[in-house]
Amino acid sequence: MTFLEEAGKMKGVDLYFYISLMPSNAIVQYSSSSSHAINTYDVFVSFRGEDTRNNFTGFLFQALRTKGIHAFKDDQHLNKGQSIAPELLQAIQASRLFIIVFSNNYASSIWCLRELAEILNCVQTSPRPVIPIFYDVDPSVVRKQSGCYEKAFAEHENRFRENKAKMEEAKRWRKALTEVANLSGWDIQNKPQYAQIEEIVQNITNILGPKISSLPKDELVGIEYRVQELKDLLCYGSLNDVRVVGVSGMGGIGKTSGGSKIIIISRDEHILRMHGVDDVYQVQPLSWENAAQLFCRNAFKVNYILSDYEKLTRDVLSHAQGHPLAIEVIGSSLFGRSVSQWKSALTRLKENKNKSVMDVLRISFDELDEGDKETFLDIACFYNGYEEVYVKEILSFRGFHPEFGMQVLIDKSLITNNYGRIYMDSLLMDLGRSIVREKSPKEPRKWSRLWDYQDFHNEIDNLEAIVVKNEEWMFGRTTMRADGLSNIRQLKLLKLNVNFSGSLSHLSNELGYLTWNKYPFKWLPPSFRPDKLVELKLRWSSIQ
């Protein structure tokens, strides 16, 4: 029996572990990325206990456990009467995906509604999938708060009518219900539960990616507890720490089995050698045949080279150097273009013949219109993994016409849209951020965008957008000074997950989006005129 299943974060390393178990047909798989925050739970399930605990939700949790998916279930973890914060808030923050099980009595529970509102707040700050399940209630009832939901809200609002703050909270609940009910989900009314649960769990598995599959639970007695202990050791502390955890025990106690394999993936071979890797497999560029096939799929939307483009295709591929991402991006940018346009693009590639793959990708960026360039840079710096609707909303406020611009980026393979979320390859993100830095690489105050708390300085004055996240803010380990924000007059977007000290005398009147968790001051600056403000979120603030 093997319990060495999970791996922690080594700086700059992506980890994939494939560990053989006995019997030989059982495989444990886990993948993680150093760019992702540490998560305690795979799934957080919000539900009304009296409606679904002993039927649908109970079966769902059993199916999730069978797949090795670690789910938080609030009625098991929290005592009755306990306030929603901080334990529940921490569980929400520490979850990778949210499931909302809507039932007839869901809206009658203030606990459930507050839980839902907090989930949406969390998703806005750190995008994660939200999956609505409509158990015994029609989606339109949830979306419009009609029927039983209308009755529940009438009772809430009647009880709150003398309390303005709670009436505002009820409005936020209504908005949250509408937003989630508009998401793609599962309507399981009058359908076989076992079949629906199987599909839901498979969908969740696909979203989360490979983790644990085909575990013979009858063979692996006690594995879940041991795996959780090991995860706790690996996940404790800063994301930037290099963590090496040893597994010790007498022979036969279950550390590993014969044939255990560990694969570590990194861009940096030195890091692999530094951590004692026995052998390094160098992933080679695509062969000409494979490169041509991938290129044709993007440039011609077929698997063969069109007759008029044979020589041009060969010339283009010689510059892509067998790099799959470069081939996809260049091919997509040439789709539907004339021979003369291909020749023009090839001329630009020849001018950069001694440059890196990053420079080849830069050509696709340079071909974009100015507004589309700004859209690309915003996504590269801030919005990878965010919901498409929310990204478009912010980009529209910024004046970038995202409805058209984002489709241009998709057509050119610069971004993708998966399950309603926008994603960008890490190499393209590096490209976008290097473009922001290139004119003044050592002077963040001159950049148009800022995304790393370590670049935050008092003298910044030229920024239009700041989205800074630091996972240590929740534990108070990192504190920045707020003084510099007073000097930024053109700031339109400000989202902060960093502890601040100092003073704040001014905020830009151009702000449209202001999110500041743990805002440290008792009031907003008196000079602040929020005439253009679209969204304001000051969770856990000191506002009086």
Q: How far apart are CA 109 and CA 515, in angstroms?
A: 27
245 vs 513, higher pLDDT: 513
How do strand 499-501 and strand 535-537 relate by DSSP bridges?
unpaired
Residues in the chain: 544
Indicate whether 9 pLDDT > 70: no
Domain 370-435 has CATH 1.10.10: yes
More confident residue, 173 or 9: 173
**149: pLDDT confidence band, cut at 50, 70 and 90?**
very high
Mean pLDDT of 250-275: 65
Pairing between β-strand 41-47 and β-strand 261-266 as defined by DSSP bridges: unpaired
Q: Does 156 score more than 90 pLDDT? A: yes
Note every long-range contact of 104-107, with CB atoms under 8 Å and residues 24 or more positions apart, other chains counting: 104/51, 104/136, 104/137, 104/148, 105/48, 105/50, 105/51, 105/148, 105/152, 106/47, 106/48, 106/51, 106/137, 106/142, 106/149, 107/142, 107/145, 107/148, 107/149, 107/152, 107/153, 107/173, 107/177
Q: What is the pLDDT of residue 67?
A: 81
Q: Where are the beta strands (DSSP E) in 104-185?
A: 130-134
Mean pLDDT score across all residues of the chain:
78
Better-scored residue on pLDDT, 192 or 532: 532
- Name the β-bridge partners of 18: 29, 261
- Helix, strand, or coil (residue 128): coil
The 10s digit of each residue's pLDDT in 203-230 is: 898 888 655 444 444 455 556 666 777 7
Do the bridges between strand 493-497 and strand 479-481 make them parallel or antiparallel, or are there none, so unpaired?
Answer: unpaired
> What fold does the segment set 41-208 form as a domain?
Rossmann fold (3.40.50)
Instruction: Specify the range with the lowest mean pLDDT, choosing from 37-41, 139-143, 488-492.
Output: 37-41
Computed over its alpha carbons, how large is the radius of gyration of the chain? 26
Higher-pLDDT residue of 383 and 463 is 383
Distance of CA 403 to the CA centre of its chain: 21
- With 0-12 / 13-18 / 19 or more C-beta atoms within 10 angstroms meaning exposed / middle / buried, residue 405 is buried
Cα 464 from Cα 452, distance rounded (Å): 15
% of residues, the chain, pLDDT over 90: 30
Cis peptide before 86 (omega within 30 of 0): yes
Phi, psi at 434, each rounded to 5° = -70, -35
Report pLDDT digits (tens) over 48-69.
988 888 889 988 998 888 887 8
Report the range of poorest mean pLDDT among 6-15, 73-82, 167-176, 496-505.
Answer: 6-15
Instruction: Catalytic residue, from 115, 328, 374, 387: name it.
Output: 115
Please compute the mean of the pLDDT values over residues 456-473 and round it to a whole number.
70
CA distances from 468 to 135, 277, 499 (A): 38, 34, 11
pLDDT digits (tens, 9 = 90+) for 320-333: 778 888 888 888 88
| 354 vs 379 pLDDT, higher one | 379
Question: pLDDT (tens digit, 9 = 90+) per residue, 90-114?
Answer: 888 889 999 999 999 999 999 899 9
Structure tokens at 19: 């560990």
Q: Does residue 214 or residue 420 have the better pLDDT?
A: 420
CA quadruple 305, 309, 310, 315: dihedral sign: negative
Lookup: tokens for 305: 């080279």
Q: How far apart are the first and last CA of the chain?
A: 56
Dihedral of alpha carbons 424, 427, 433, 438, sign: negative
120, 98 Cβ separation under 8 angstroms:
no
pLDDT digits (tens, 9 = 90+) for 286-312: 888 888 999 999 899 888 888 889 999
Q: For Cα atoms 480, 486, 490, give the angle at the middle one, nearest 5 degrees.
A: 115
- Whether 403 shows a pLDDT value over 50: the answer reads yes
Instruction: Give the mean pLDDT of 6-30.
Output: 31
| C-alpha distances out from residue 157 to 47, 117, 161, 167, 303, Å | 22, 17, 6, 6, 61
Does the annotation mark 6 as catalytic?
Answer: no
